Structure formats: C-alpha cells, structure tokens
Amino acid sequence: MAITEDLERVARMVEARLDALIEPEPGASGLARLIEAMRYAALGGGKRLRPFLLIEAARLFGVAERDALDAGVALECVHCYSLVHDDLPAMDDDKVRRGRPTTHVAFGEATAILAGDSLLTLAFDILSRPTTAADAAVRAELVSLLAQAAGADGMAGGQALDLAAEGTSLGPMEVARMQAMKTGALFQFACAAGATLGRADARAREALAAYASAFGQAFQLADDLLDAEGNAAMVGKAVAKDAGRGKATLVALLGVEAARARLAALIEDAEASLAPFGTRADTLKQTAGFIASRRT
C-alpha cells in the first residue's frame, strides 16, 4: 500500500528536521539535560501523521513538500509536548509510550514539565521564522491557528474535560465535544495550515475542515478500539487502561460493533468531503482509510 511508504518517507523528513532544530547542548548542565529531554520526547518514533496531513493538505494547492515541512514540524512539536504533559503523574500517569519509558520516567518530572513547555514554545518559534513561510501574514495566521488549536479552546481544554470526566459518565455528545477539542483540534490545524500555506479559498477551506472533523473522530475511534481490543506489545503503550480508569470513550458507550460501524461511516464522510479536489486528494483519502485499518 503506497500510503505507508509516503507516511514513512515524510516521517523520516520530520525526524531529520526535528533533529536539526533541537540541537544538543554540549556538557552536562541542566540546560543540556533539558534539551536531551526535548529530543527524547520529539525524536525516535511516531507516525508523524499530523505533519503528513499538513503537507498533503498544502500539496492540494501546489505547495511543495519542502515549503510545508516546517509548519508540520511545529505542529509535531505541539503534539509531542502534549504527550509529555499528558503522561505526567498528575495527569494520566503513563509510564510507557512508543515502547519506551515516558519522558518524566526517563528524566524526572521537573525536566519533563520544562521539556513540554519548551517544545510548545519552540513550535511558535518555528512558525515565526521566514523559512517557514516567506510572507509574514501567513506566519502570523499560522501562529493564530495553532494557538487556538492548542490552547484552552482546543487541545488543552479538551484534556481538562477528559481529566474531569474520569469516574463520571459523559454522554456521547459530551465525549464528542471533548475529543473534538483534545484530539480533533490539531488535525483541524493540520488541514487549515495547509490551506493557509496554499492561500486556499473559503470553499476549499470548508471542504478541508469537514475532512479534518471526520478524520479526527475516526482517528480517536480507531485509537479507542485499539485500546479496547489491542495488544500492548503491538501498540507500544499500555492498553485496556481507559476502561480501567473510567475514561470516557465512544467505544465504551456504543460497544465495539457499533463503534466499528461508526468508524466506517466517518471514513466515508472524510473521503466524501474531499470530492471538490478530485484525484488530487487521493493521498488524503487513503490516509483516512489507513488510520481506520491501523493496528498500532
């Protein structure tokens, strides 16, 4: 399947760019250790799905891969920061991620908090650089979009809703809202940033926003199905933990069969949203199919 090769190729580009942008500090100072922790959190794995979506969205408008890469890398920094902070003992208290000890287990809590803070800050640093987009108006818009996606109205707010929901019983609408913020907002950013880089018109933006919405929901559902059915060795992190800690998921609310049906419908929605782009959007369509079928 060609999509996995595309994903792997872009993942290598993202990894190399992160490696170059987060330069190791020589010596053994607290600063060297902070940067080591940032590298630990940002490098060494991950599907880099968010930068991939951003690059593919930008490609719809003729933007070259190399001209969308840094915006994608900034997005990946935000994703990695969120994993570091969400894994902290005060939050989800996860000890394993991508088959390795989580950042606070490897570096201690204080360094993990600062590494997350610094990755979030680095994201905005990257977006503000002329090498990310020559036009300052594009850079300022990317910053605005990412800040809204990542902050209290987006990802961080979704995590707050998720934490507060533990042990309570959310309804499907509340779970959907929480997941749209916690997980969906960064996928929305990926598509909106691609559109911004490509100076897309309102109609194209709306089509991509609809795709991102269905894609984000499908991604979360696939993730929850993996957690409910998966195998820790394949997934590379603890599984079946959501139910154990009373986490709100649609799989728990709908059951596995209904969740699988809903996942299939969301993938159809995602693909249908891309109709205005014709065959140019084939990779984005395949990406939606890919996440529905993933097993890790």
Q: Does 150 bind a second copy (CB under 8 A)?
A: yes
- Nearer Cβ to a second copy, position 7 or 133? 133
The answer to whether residues 127 and 143 touch, using CB atoms and an 8 Å cutoff, is yes
- What number of other Cβ atoms are within 10 A of residue 240's Cβ? 12
Shorter beta-carbon distance to a second copy: residue 4 or 29: 29
Q: DSSP assignment of 82-150, as one string?
A: HHHHHTSTTTT---EETTEE-HHHHH-HHHHHHHHHHHHHHHHHHHTSTTT-SSHHHHHHHHHHHHHHH
Is 129 among the residues that bind a second copy (CB under 8 A)?
A: yes
Closest distance between a second copy and the C-beta of residue 14, in Å?
Answer: 19
Task: Count residues near a second copy (CB under 8 A).
Answer: 52
First to last CA, the chain: 16
Pick the binder of a second copy from 79, 85, 97, 247 (CB under 8 A): 85
Minimum CB separation of residue 83 from a second copy in Å reads 13
91 binds a second copy per the rule CB under 8 A = yes
Cα 191–196–199 angle (5° rounding)?
125
- Quote the DSSP letter at residue 281: G
Q: Which DSSP string do the residues of 13-55 spell out, in sequence order?
A: HHHHHHHHHSPPPSSSSHHHHHHHHHHHHHSS----HHHHHHH
Cβ closer to a second copy: 27 or 278? 27
x-or-dash pattern for a second copy, window 109-128, by CB under 8 A? xxx-xx-xxx-xxx-xx-xx
Residue 272 C-beta: closest distance to a second copy, Å = 31
Torsions phi, psi of 100, nearest 5?
Answer: -130, 160
Q: Does 95 bind a second copy (CB under 8 A)?
A: no
Of 33-41, 94-102, 200-208, 214-222, which segment contacts a second copy by CB under 8 A? 33-41
Closest to a second copy by CB, 39 vs 262, is: 39
Which of residues 3, 14, 18, 38 is near a second copy by CB under 8 A?
A: 38
Q: How far apart are CA 105 and CA 108, in angstroms?
A: 6
Binding site for a second copy (CB under 8 A): 29-31, 33-35, 38, 81, 85, 88, 90-91, 108-111, 113-114, 116-118, 120-122, 124-125, 127-129, 135-137, 139-141, 143-144, 146-148, 150-152, 156-157, 159-165
